[in-house]
Amino acid sequence: MRYNNVEFRQSEMPDSHGYKTSEDRPSEIIAWIYNEEMGKETCYTICWLKSDKEGYYMETVGNRYVEYEDMEALNHVTKYAMRTLNIQFEFEENKY
């Protein structure tokens, strides 16, 4: 799910550019920036979304989360991602 230049990227699912991450890589929130030298968008990770026995939690990369310019987009995508992952976690917990 992408909103403005912020995207929620899940493991093994293609992002807005069709890139698919491996299953051993945690889900993440990324920011897209246009690289003029390359003539295309590139991205960097803002935070990882990891799980433990209680559900999902966010692990930020440095101060990228608090210093990101478009906090409206970042918070919107992060809330969506955390809700989605925790619902999925609860479903898996109750499945067995």
Measured CA to CA, the distance from residue 15 to residue 17 in angstroms comes to: 5
* pLDDT by position in tens, the chain (length 96): 999 999 999 877 767 777 777 677 899 999 999 989 989 999 999 999 999 999 999 999 999 999 999 999 999 999 999 999 999 999 988 765
Measured CA to CA, the distance from residue 55 to residue 72 in angstroms comes to: 24
Measure CA of the first residue to CA of the last residue in the chain; give whole Å.
Answer: 29
Which domain range does residue 89 map to? Answer: 2-95
Domain count, the chain: 1
Neighbours of 16 (CB within 10 A): 13
Measured CA to CA, the distance from residue 65 to residue 29 in angstroms comes to: 9
Helix (H) or strand (E) holding 85: helix 71-95
